[in-house]
Each structure stands twice: as structure tokens, then as C-alpha cells.
């Protein structure tokens, strides 16, 4: 996968299905992967997912499933039946929940990649200490990455700054990194890096939203980020 577009995932974080549909139509042939979050899934549901799939995109459904094990088993079985490329689970649900998610995927006979979300990229050390006193952010990352590996989860979603910890604790899992921003971007994520640096540091895929969605020329933005990814791949071999 030396083509930058093969590693770039668009976060389709827009308010309306119609807006998402129009945006994807304008980028058809320029992108392979599209991430759908809670808002668009709540508005469009399975019909919109199927429409996106019919347009030729591979769907990354980012719902961060987090519930009792049996509920997550049932949800994963239903969602994995929709020919998704990937589906997210929150590692905070624990070992049994992750195992049941894998069982749900297997029952569906699906090839959907299950991705464990370690720690949300909006957390920094101070905000993490408020919700998990006595457990450092780095310890949580290490334990959750290891848990994904032990329970047969396919990959991990983590911050670009967390890659060194995650890759050691979860060897063999592929990594998806949100919070990637071109150097000129400015927004509310706490633990971010540029696409080139993230790929150079070993991430398999990156997720980019607003720098593409808010660009005056979205196709040019996609191609620029893809070129940055390719530069990052070159750095790996130096």
C-alpha cells in the first residue's frame, strides 16, 4: 500500500445525509475509505450505509460500541452483516465484551475488521486523570492494546502520539489514527500530529475530517494529504 489514498480515511462529519451524499459524489474516485460516526448513522441508518457502499466506498462505521457483552454481541452480529470495512468497539467495555464482539462477527460470517478504541484523542493527561484516577493514560493504553491482541480484535484506534506504546503492547494489530492535521490546521483535538509524521511513525491508516471537509478545493486537499502520506512512507525506509 504505497499509494497514499489506500491509507487515507475521510471522516464524513457532516450534519445532514444530503450533505454527505453530495460531498461523497464530488469525491468519488478520489477516496476509498469513509468513516461514518454517530450523527450520520443516526440520521441515515442502514439505507445510507448501503448507498455509500453502492458508490464504491469502503465503510468504517465508528460507533464505539460499549455495553454489556450480550448486547454488543447482538449489535456486532447485525452491523457486521452489512459488509462494513471496519467497526469500532470501546476497549473500556472489557475482555468479555471484546470476546463477544468477535463472536458476533464470526456468527455473521463477516470479514469486517473490529477495531478497539483505546483512549479518545480528545483526552490529555489532566482530563484523563479526572475520569481514571490512579491509572495513567500510558498504562491504560498499554493494557487496552494488549487486551485487543489477546481477544482477537483486528486493529486499534489510537492517537498518533500513542503509537509507540500501542505497537509494542499490541504487535500484529493494524493501527488507525484519527486526529491527524496538516501543519496549518487548528482545532480541538489534544493529541495530534501531521499525516506525514503519523505514517512515518508506523500507522497503517489515518483519519482526516475537517481539513478536507472545510477546504475550498476538497479534491486538492485529498491529493495533498495523500502525497504527505507517501512522504511518510518514504521516511520509514530511511
CA torsion, points 52, 53, 55, 61, in degrees to nearest 10? 40
Question: What are the cell numbers at 177?
Answer: 489514527
Instruction: List residues with catalytic annotation.
Output: 64
Q: Which of 4-18, 36-50, 58-72, 121-135 has the lowest mean pLDDT?
A: 121-135
What average pLDDT does the chain have? 91
198 within 8 A of 177, measured Cβ to Cβ? yes
Alpha helices in the chain (DSSP H): 17-27, 38-54, 69-80, 95-108, 125-131, 137-150, 163-169, 195-200, 210-213, 218-236
**pLDDT at 186 exceeding the cut of 60:** no
Nearest-angstrom CA–CA distance, 123 and 110: 32
Name the band, by pLDDT with cuts 50, 70 and 90, for residue 119: confident
Name the band, by pLDDT with cuts 50, 70 and 90, for residue 161: confident
For the stretch 23-74, pLDDT in tens is 999 999 999 999 999 999 999 999 999 999 999 999 999 999 999 999 999 9
Q: Over the range 152-167, which residues count as b (16 or more CB within 10 Å of their CB) and which as e?
A: ebbbbbbbbbbbebbb
- pTM for this predicted structure: 0.91
Distance, first Cα to last Cα, the chain: 17
Nearest-angstrom CA–CA distance, 128 and 106: 34
Return the DSSP state at 93. G
List domains and CATH numbers for the chain: 4-236 (3.20.20.70)
Q: Is the dihedral of CA 60, 17, 42, 215 positive or negative?
A: positive
Amino acid at each position: 500500500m504505497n499509494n497514499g489514498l489506500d491509507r487515507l480515511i475521510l471522516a464524513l462529519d457532516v450534519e445532514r445525509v444530503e450533505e454527505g451524499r453530495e460531498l461523497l459524489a464530488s469525491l468519488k474516485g478520489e477516496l476509498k475509505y469513509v468513516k461514518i460516526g454517530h450523527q450520520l448513522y443516526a440520521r441515515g441508518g442502514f439505507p445510507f450505509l448501503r448507498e455509500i457502499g453502492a458508490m464504491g466506498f469502503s465503510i468504517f462505521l465508528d460507533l464505539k460500541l460499549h455495553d454489556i457483552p450480550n448486547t454488543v454481541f447482538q449489535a456486532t452480529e447485525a452491523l457486521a452483516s452489512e459488509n462494513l470495512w471496519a467497526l469500532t468497539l470501546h476497549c473500556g467495555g472489557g475482555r468479555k465484551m471484546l470476546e463477544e464482539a468477535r463472536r458476533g462477527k464470526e456468527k455473521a460470517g463477516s470479514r469486517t475488521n473490529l477495531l478497539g478504541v483505546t483512549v479518545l484523542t480528545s483526552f490529555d493527561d489532566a482530563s484523563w486523570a479526572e475520569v481514571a484516577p490512579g491509572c495513567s493514560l500510558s498504562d491504560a493504553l498499554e493494557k487496552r492494546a494488549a487486551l485487543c491482541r489477546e481477544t482477537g480484535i483486528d486493529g486499534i484506534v489510537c492517537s498518533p502520539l500513542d503509537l509507540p506504546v500501542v505497537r509494542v503492547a499490541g504487535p500484529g494489530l493494524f493501527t488507525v489514527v484519527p486526529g491527524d492535521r496538516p501543519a496549518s490546521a487548528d482545532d480541538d483535538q489534544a493529541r495530534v500530529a501531521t499525516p506525514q509524521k503519523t505514517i512515518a511513525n508506523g500507522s497503517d491508516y489515518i483519519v482526516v475530517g475537517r481539513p478536507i471537509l472545510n477546504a475550498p478545493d476538497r479534491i486538492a486537499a485529498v491529493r495533498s494529504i495523500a502525497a504527505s502520506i507517501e512522504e511518510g512512507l518514504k521516511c520509514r525506509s530511511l
